[in-house]
Chain A
Amino acid sequence: MKGAEAAAQNRLVSTISNTYRKILLNPSYKYLLLLLGAPVNLVVFLIYWIWRRKDPSTQAEERIHSQLVESGALIKLRADIYEQEKRKAAFFKRTADERQLQRQAERIADVQLRELVKEQAAKELKLSGQQRLSMADTFERLLQHPLFLAASFIPGLLMYILIFLYSNPYMKYIFERLVMTVFVIFGVAFLVFTILYLSPFNPAANILGQTATADQIAAFNRIHGLDQSYWVQLWNNIKGIAFFDLGRSFSGNEDITASIARKFPITLTLALISLIVAVAIALPIGIISATRPNSFFDYTFMFVALIGLSIPNFWQGLILILNFSIKLNWLPATFNPANWLSMIMPVIVLGTSLTASVARMTRSSTLEVINEDYMLTAKAKGLGKQTILMKHAVRNALIPIITVIGLLFGGMLGGAAVTEKVFNISGIGSYIVDKQFIPDIPAIMGGVVYTAITISLINVIIDILYAFFDPRIRSKMKQY
């Protein structure tokens, strides 16, 4: 019982110290680790510094260095390098200053000497079976004492969390991906705010009208914080986005976050339904086209897909309204969340270009996979046509398709503004467009940034799911 416990603890210690060693070799994580565990690292460094003096490698290095200098190796090295430099300058027809050459030769000779010393010292140590002490070694030796582990646990908690994340490749990947996303979101907020801040328009004058006095404009600016400096406004807006409180809109005096929260689900629902419909139509079409390349089906489907890519959303919406609402009177022309019939036309319009792109992508991706060697193997094994297609071809072809779907979904959320205007849907897109005439800075910023956040999160989820489902990515990640 006790043995098992000890073994578990040993394993823990060796994992921690191994990861610590690995992180110290990583140029970007190194500083993060040193910073997060600053108190612990300081202690480790002090001990390392003390132990270092008694280290056999330091002594050996010093001895070899003095030996080399005494035996005249340094002077010979300098002369050799000086000769080389001179010949190099002559070859490239460069006129070089004598003193400068000398100095350069000395510098290079010093570097080479240091390397030589290190090499010889390492050889000597290897012969005697010893090793050069490093910071990681010190940490490992210290960790062997349970007392150190317990004492360092609280001050080095952040560092241990980092070590834990780093020790598991999935965790590390997810952590990095999330950090990137947070960075991107702040970048988006900064960018959008800066663009709107640079605007030459004056929202106060636009809302209060030409007759507004200077006092009125100043009061308006004070209420909405427009008289503050750039950094203060930026900080307030980023804080507002993080805590879902963007204040009140310039015109109409409505709570912006509440409006966005009311309108966003409508856009998202429509986009999701169109996405599902589009994928359900596009995947079979793409697969059929790929299995019969250059056939009549293939040409027809791809031609229709190309037309679908070329139709502007708003025109398609207008034509649908003209035919199905005005002429045939089958479907309502404006959107109403309570009436599912009114959802049909917006879903078709939103999904058309997505269907077209996904069908084209599915075709090309499946075609590529069909010519792979493992398809031949599967055929040679005598598997049925259906099994080969579904299990071997489509499963492998799906990976790039899902990435494309993720990216296109983002475009769909952004491009929904036009469709929403045509069908009079009160979604986030038409909200942003309505607010831009003023321009209502916090409202536009909230709309754009929350859309960007949604898209980034969707892409993160897709990326992370890949890491779990695709064996190729999984094996690549283990090495990283």
Chain B
Amino acid sequence: MINKLNSKRHTNHQLKSSPEYSQASFTFVLSLAITVILLLNSFHYADGTVRSWVFLAFAAYAVFTIIQLIIAILIRRDLLQAGDIRRSTRLLGYVQLLSILSGNLFTTVFGCNLVKKRKPPEYTIAVYMLLTQLCVMAISALNLFKPYVSNTFLPAMFGLLIITVFHFASLLLVAKYVDGHYAHPKLVWIALPLALSAVSGNLFALVLGINLLAKIRRNGNPALTRWGDVWVKLTGNSTAMLGLFFVVFLFCLSVCSLLTFEYSFAIDNNYSAILLPPSLEYPLGTDNFGRDLFSRIVYGARISLIVGFASTLVPVVIGGILGAISGYYGRHTDNIIMRMLDVLYAIPGILLAVAIIAAFGANTVNLIIALSVGAIPTYARTMRANVLLVSTYEYVDAARAFGSSNLSIIFKHIVPNSLAPMIVKSTLTIGSAVIATSSLSYLGLGVEPHIPEWGNILKIGSTYLETHSYLAIYPGLAIILLVLSFNFLGDGLRDALDPKLD
């Protein structure tokens, strides 16, 4: 009995010693889920025919899912027998790299993870940077099937291509010359252009550039800065990285779509193409005015991101300042501020937003204000609790003994040290801000109806639920993916910034 228990514990311990094993099973489950969804969608149930394109995709996914399963089994065997993953198993990772051609990002990421034994965070960031670039290129390239493209399409695609090649080269260099606490000093020459290439919206490039510069500066020094530590933890968390990847991808796509997408497909009526089913020209079909659903969703991403970030940033700043003041000064200041905020807190966010929009009209700015006002009390409470904790620390007393003014103590010492929970909370609430935005738009209280926002698209889709349900399904999926990504990222950040925080 005890032996059995011991050996079970031993097995568990061995399997947990390598992050690759849990990543392999996670990737397998995700890949399998998509394979099954593709299989279910590859038949017309009404007349029993096969959709050849979907079935082909299913076949490709199935192949890589099976390879993934084999890899997971091999890793398990290696870990139990040798205690380490063999070289031959790691080489299988190169096979998984090919899955990029089928569009299976999960197995591609896993392949990149598997082929390299020791992965500094820079390597993982570089992988995601390249993937983001490739995905944006692929999505933008779908415009080639349109009757015409925007004037800036060709130069923009050419620029994207150059950046992609550069990113690929950087990935190879990073893989070769960055290791543990050491980075080759000559990498400075790619770190700066990498940070510059973030103008395409690829924030991974910016982070990679900063991380490389930081690593080169303190070469060989094993001490970790807070920033570096967060990235080590974050890159080790696959779900958080997937979430971050989707957010950065959507941001990058929103930036690039300024040049590569033709706005008229999204807003101009085209009566010759009303309610068309998905095709190459219209990848997600068209709506009741002949507008391309695909372009509309890409444009909607911009608005969702802007409203989501703005309606989180405003209450974070206002609530943060109020919370910091009331936590630091205490007594009457605290009482007055917190009682005022209690009034705001008593009204449910959506109802307050409805009341504000009822009073001032439905448009994007009012929507941001309405969503922000309701969120102020929660941030103020979070900030106040942190400030109460931080103000008891010695360095605050020290600053006071040196004669710093109250304001400089608050903003130089207390606020920077109580930001972590605010960052986590705001990441987790951007998702709900996105949902609230689309919900209010769906009710006709959000973004103006002529702007292709996801809630507005869904509102139109809901009237064609019986005949053209894809009009309602795709924008909904986009919302879910974005919100899910923010939630994954928030959970990962919470683990990285403060494991005890909730």
Contact = CB atoms under 8 A, between A and B. Distances in A.
A188 interface: yes
Given A312-B476, A315-B479, A432 B351 contact: yes
A414 B351 contact: yes
Interface stretch (A30-38, A73-81, A316-324, A385-393): A316-324
Interface in B334-352: 339-340, 342-344, 346-352
A314 interface: yes
Interface of A: 180, 183-185, 187-188, 190-192, 195-196, 198-201, 306-307, 309-315, 318-319, 321-322, 326, 364, 410-411, 413-415, 417-418, 421-422, 429, 432-433, 435-437, 439, 444, 447-448, 451-452, 455-456
Given A433-B445, A436-B357, A439-B359, A318 B351 contact: no
A321 B458 CA distance: 14
Given A312-B435, A322-B472, A433-B445, A417 B351 contact: yes
Contacts of B458: 314-315, 318
B355 A195 contact: yes
B209 interface: no
Contact of B473 (A180, A319, A411): A319
Given A318-B458, A322-B472, A310 B350 contact: no
A191 B376 CA distance: 15
A32 to B, nearest CB: 15
Given A315-B479, A418-B443, A439 B348 contact: no
Contacts of B359: 195-196, 198-199, 201, 439
Nearest to B16: A294
Contact of B487 (A306, A413, A455): A306
Nearest to B472: A318
Contacts of A415: 348-350, 439
Contacts of B472: 315, 318-319, 322
Main secondary structure on A side of the interface with B: helix
B484 A310 contact: yes
Contacts of B479: 312, 315
Given A192-B355, A310-B431, A310-B484, A318 B350 contact: no
Given A191-B343, A444-B358, A318 B465 contact: yes
A188 B502 CA distance: 29
25 contacts: A187-B346, A191-B344, A192-B347, A192-B355, A195-B355, A201-B359, A307-B480, A309-B483, A310-B435, A312-B476, A314-B439, A314-B442, A314-B462, A315-B476, A322-B469, A364-B502, A414-B349, A415-B348, A415-B349, A415-B439, A418-B439, A422-B462, A436-B355, A448-B347, A448-B352
A447 B355 CA distance: 10
Nearest to A193: B355
B360 A200 contact: yes
Contacts of B342: 180, 184, 187
Nearest to B30: A303
Interface residues of B, number: 44
A456 B354 contact: no
Contacts of B488: 306
B11 to A, nearest CB: 14
B466 interface: yes
Contacts of A322: 465-466, 469, 472
Contacts of A455: 346, 348
A309 B438 CA distance: 15
A184 B346 contact: yes
B361 interface: yes
Given A318-B465, A439-B358, 19 more contacts: A187-B339, A188-B343, A191-B344, A195-B356, A196-B355, A306-B488, A310-B483, A312-B439, A312-B480, A314-B458, A315-B476, A315-B480, A319-B473, A410-B348, A415-B349, A418-B350, A432-B351, A433-B445, A452-B346
Contacts of A200: 360-361
Most A CB atoms within 10 A — which of B344, B435, B438?
Answer: B435
Contacts of B487: 306, 309-310
Contacts of B491: 306
B446 to A, nearest CB: 11
Nearest to B461: A318
B348 A452 contact: yes
Interface in B427-452: 431, 435, 438-439, 442-443, 445
Given A312-B479, A456-B346, A201 B361 contact: yes
Most B CB atoms within 10 A — which of A311, A314, A437?
Answer: A314
Contacts of B340: 187
A319 B347 CA distance: 29
B483 A436 contact: no
Nearest to A199: B359
Contacts of A429: 351
A14 B502 CA distance: 47
A311 B480 contact: yes
Contact of A319 (B352, B356, B476): B476
A187 B438 contact: no
A433 B484 contact: no
Contact of B348 (A184, A191, A310, A414): A414
A422 B442 CA distance: 10
B476 A184 contact: no
Given A312-B438, A415-B348, A417-B443, A432 B431 contact: no
B354 A436 contact: yes
B347 A188 contact: yes
Contacts of A414: 347-351
A187 B351 contact: no
Closest 5 CB pairs of A and B: A414-B348, A187-B343, A436-B358, A199-B359, A315-B476
Most B CB atoms within 10 A — which of A195, A307, A309, A315?
Answer: A315
A188 B355 CA distance: 12
Nearest to A315: B476
Interface string B482-502: 011001100100000000001
Interface in B369-417: none
B351 A451 contact: yes
A190 B359 CA distance: 15
B497 to A, nearest CB: 16
Contacts of A314: 438-439, 442, 458, 462
Nearest to B26: A299
A326 B467 CA distance: 10
A201 B360 CA distance: 7
B488 to A, nearest CB: 7
